[in-house]
């Protein structure tokens, strides 16, 4: 899963209206073998990252592209809209922060 600053979570970039569990073809690579999995997504809120995990999805067995159905994407939008209060979090993670400018000056960028 990519972490992006875009308003829409990266996981839903290629999401289509596909009922989970039915035969579907990967929009990215054309593979037809999809595996039901639980995925995570991350997005920016104020100055911090917020993660929602345990999201039901279909994942391409070949290229790992993730697909969620419309109802799930809508539910996540509603959760984000409701504010995701910190006291409702089930876990916390520490995230290293890098500077593009500093890395580039150091010759690693």
Residues making contact with Zn ion (CB under 5 A): 26, 28-29, 31, 60, 62-63, 65
Residue 15 CB, nearest approach to Zn ion (Å): 13
Q: Which is nearer to Zn ion, 31 or 105 (CB)?
A: 31
Sign of CA dihedral 13, 24, 22, 65: negative
Are the beta carbons of 66 and 39 closer than 8 angstroms? yes
Residue 35 CB, nearest approach to Zn ion (Å): 11
Residue 61 CB, nearest approach to Zn ion (Å): 8
Q: Which is nearer to Zn ion, 25 or 72 (CB)?
A: 25
Are the beta carbons of 58 and 23 closer than 8 angstroms? no
Query: What values do phi and psi take at 36, rounded to 5?
Result: -70, 125
Q: Which is nearer to Zn ion, 63 or 102 (CB)?
A: 63
């Amino acid at each position: 899963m990519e972490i992006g600053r875009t308003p829409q979570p990266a996981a839903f970039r290629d999401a289509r209206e596909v009922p989970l569990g039915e035969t579907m073809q990967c929009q990215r690579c054309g593979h037809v073998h999809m595996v039901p999995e639980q995925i995570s997504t991350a997005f920016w809120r104020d100055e911090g990252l917020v993660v929602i995990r345990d999201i039901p999805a279909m994942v391409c067995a070949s290229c790992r592209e993730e697909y969620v159905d419309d109802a799930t994407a809508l539910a996540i939008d509603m959760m984000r809209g409701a504010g995701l209060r910190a006291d409702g979090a089930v876990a916390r993670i520490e995230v290293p922060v890098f500077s593009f400018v500093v890395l580039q000056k150091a010759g690693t960028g």
